[in-house]
Amino acid sequence: MSNIKKAFENGKAFIPFITCGDPDLETTAAAVRAAVENGADLIELGIPFSDPTAEGSVIQGANIRALNGGVTTDKIFALVKELRSDVKVPMVFMTYANVVFSYGAERFISTCHEIGIDGLILPDLPFEEKGEFLPICHKFGVDFISLIAPTSEQRIAMIAKEAEGFLYIVSSLGVTGTRSEIKTDLAAIVDVVRQNTNIPCAIGFGISTPEQARTMASVSDGAIVGSAIVKLLEQYGKDAPKYIGEYVKSIKDAIG
């Protein structure tokens, strides 16, 4: 059984996203632990990339700060290995195909398995091109997590049928970032997903308030929040983990 399924066994799952190395890896580790202590069910860790095409200005800024601070993929692998001494919830990487290519796909994914990373999300990789990585993920027991966007339409069923770990449903067109309202008919998308797979699905992009998270979790199996958490890291720096813990608790309480 995929370890990721455990994140969805205790009611609705809350999945916070944290950019590794912003402002530094020690703060990343503290933020992850604060999130888990306050109810996070799965942690999505961003490996910084110089051209993060799916990201809005908030997470772009975090990528730049982390890279300028000297973070590397190897340092992030060491961070995860250390976190795994006490962090038991599933963890996945979100990064870009070029990061994996440049490291060496087999070397990257085999290391994910060794350090306890449960899944991989590559938002710039079209579903039809996942064959570049999928066999290697299967070889090492790392779930390749697919995304479904509002524009996926007739492809939703196809993507759902081949889903692993969980399905990441993108709430809105455009890049990541907080939104005042989300108008996509997400219930209709989730309905097609449910008809084609029993893999859980969580909604991300644009969620920032407990009310939005509650709404998204009411039609799916969980909510993903990134920019709102990264904003706390930008605002409070090394002191951010305390505020991230409080924020995660407010979201988790809201979605139940």
What's the CA gap between 205 and 104, in Å, rounded? 29
Residue 204 — φ and ψ, nearest 5°? -135, 180
> What is the pLDDT, as a whole number, of residue 55?
64
> What is the pLDDT, as a whole number, of residue 179?
40
For residue 181, pLDDT over 60 is answered with no
> What is the pLDDT, as a whole number, of residue 176?
45
- Reported confidence tier of residue 57, pLDDT bands at 50, 70, 90: confident
In single-letter form, the type of residue at position 206 comes to G
Tokens of residue 150, six digits: 């509002």
| Strand stretches in the chain, DSSP E | 13-19, 43-46, 91-94, 119-121, 143-145, 147-148, 167-170, 201-204, 222-225
**% of the chain beyond a pLDDT of 70:** 93
Which residues, listed in sequence order, are joined to residue 148 by a DSSP beta bridge?
A: 169
Distant-in-sequence, close-in-space partners of 99: CB < 8 Å, separation ≥ 6: 47, 49, 73, 108
Mean pLDDT lowest among 77-91, 99-113, 170-184, 226-240: 170-184
Distant-in-sequence, close-in-space partners of 51: CB < 8 Å, separation ≥ 6: 96, 98
CB 200 within 8 A of CB 166: yes
> What is the pLDDT, as a whole number, of residue 10?
86
In a 13 Å sphere around the CA of 217, the CA atoms on its Cβ side amount to 25
Q: Which domains does the chain have, with CATH numbers?
A: 3-255 (3.20.20.70)
Is pTM, for the whole model, over 0.75?
yes
Mean pLDDT lowest among 52-56, 154-158, 194-198, 217-221: 52-56
Could you read off the pLDDT of 25-46 as tens digits, one per residue? 999 999 999 999 999 999 999 9
Mean pLDDT: which of 19-23, 52-56, 125-129, 223-227 is highest? 19-23
Average pLDDT over the chain, rounded to an integer: 92
Cis status of the peptide bond prior to 23, with omega within 30 of 0? yes
Tell me the mean pLDDT in the region 241-249.
98
- Reported confidence tier of residue 178, pLDDT bands at 50, 70, 90: very low
> What is the pLDDT, as a whole number, of residue 180?
44
For residue 119, pLDDT over 70 is answered with yes
- Under DSSP, the state recorded for 162 is T
Give burial (CB, 10 Å; 0-12/13-18/19+) of 4. Answer: buried
Give burial (CB, 10 Å; 0-12/13-18/19+) of 77. Answer: buried
Tokens of residue 208, six digits: 């920032």
- Reported confidence tier of residue 175, pLDDT bands at 50, 70, 90: very low
